[in-house]
Structure 1
Amino acid sequence: MHSNWIKALLLAAAVATMSGCATSKEELMPHGDRTMQDIWYQADGEGGSGQVARRQLLDARQSLRRPLTDADVQTASVEQMHYTRTAANEIHRQFHRLPNPDLQMYVFPHLAGTDPVPVPGYTTVFPLYQRVQYAMPGERVEDY
């Protein structure tokens, strides 16, 4: 019974393969009147150096540009001042450290080692986080 299904599946695959070969190249990929050389020269700019295409691109970009107004110039300098390094803002931190509180842990007296040696109880201090974390500019302004 399984061989009947396999034969039917193989027959369907063969028919699909043969129908793929029955289509013509022109029907599948129509050929226009332009040659590959025409396409190349159009994209590269008539002489092969690309000067015409680059010139057309620059002209299109130039038509999209607009001049800056006085308000744009003034606000740009104020905005850029926050990110420019100067002697005045060099001493102020831009990325503040986030708090990393110290934890105190008491270690009870215990025996340690292969030959049990008594260790007296002691207190130790360690930071909560393993690494120092920093805040983004403006995220945390108060010192701790």
Structure 2
Amino acid sequence: MLSNLTKTLALVVAVALLGGCATSKEKLLPHGDNTMMDIWNQNAGDGAIGGAGQVARRQLLDARQSLRRPLTDADVQAAPAEQMRYTRTARNEIHRQFLRLPNPDLVMYVYPHLAGTDPVPVPGYTTVFPLYQRVQYAMPGERVEDY
């Protein structure tokens, strides 16, 4: 019983595979006189051939129109101030947009010791060095005051 089912399943798979190879290339990918630019123009709405281009053009215009909105009086009045924020002037040229993050100094005491191949006494001393090796900057709008 199991071997009959296996044979039948194998036969169905073989017929399906051979049936897929029976399609001709010309039937699957027909050649025509249109170039890719012609096909693009027809479907994008710029072509004069057929009505499909006009439908696509109308749909494109409708989609654009739905995204547009008229400017209100408040938008028109706020536009110069909004544009000035992005304009470089002598006043805002020196404004630092990326502020430096705090880099506290660490104080270290070095105890008296002997140094070198010929042990030479070195007296104790205090030294100061920054906590971070590099200068770190904050992103615009990031909090930089003392925590």
| Bin of the TM-score, shorter chain as denominator length | 0.5 to 0.7
Which contiguous aligned blocks of 4+ residues in structure 1 show a shift greater than 6 angstroms? none
Alignment RMSD (CA, Å): 4.1
CA contact (8 A) 1:108 1:120 kept: yes
User: Which among 129, 134, 137 is matched to residue 134 of structure 1?
Assistant: 137
Aligned to 1:69: 72
Measured at CA, do residues 33 and 132 of structure 1 come closer, stay the same or move farther in structure 2, by a change above 3 Å? closer
User: Which among 112, 116, 119 is matched to residue 116 of structure 1?
Assistant: 119
CA distance in 2, matches of 1:107, 1:29: 84
Measured at CA, do residues 26 and 67 of structure 1 come closer, stay the same or move farther in structure 2, by a change above 3 Å? farther
Q: Which amino acid aligns with 2:46?
A: V
Deviations 1:28-87 (A, max 9, x none): 9894696354472222559xxx9936xx59x63764544433322333433333332222
Gaps of 5+ in 2: 1-9, 48-56
1:133 CA drift (Å): 1.3
- The alignment status of 1:43 with 2:40, answered yes or no, reads yes
- TM-score normalised by structure 1 residue count: 0.59
Measured at CA, do residues 30 and 43 of structure 1 come closer, stay the same or move farther in structure 2, by a change above 3 Å? same
- State, as a whole percentage, how many aligned pairs show the same letter: 60
Measured at CA, do residues 93 and 29 of structure 1 come closer, stay the same or move farther in structure 2, by a change above 3 Å? same
CA contact (8 A) 2:101 2:144 kept: no
Aligned to 2:46: 52
Deviations 1:83-117 (A, max 9, x none): 32222222332222111111111111111112222
Aligned residues: 122
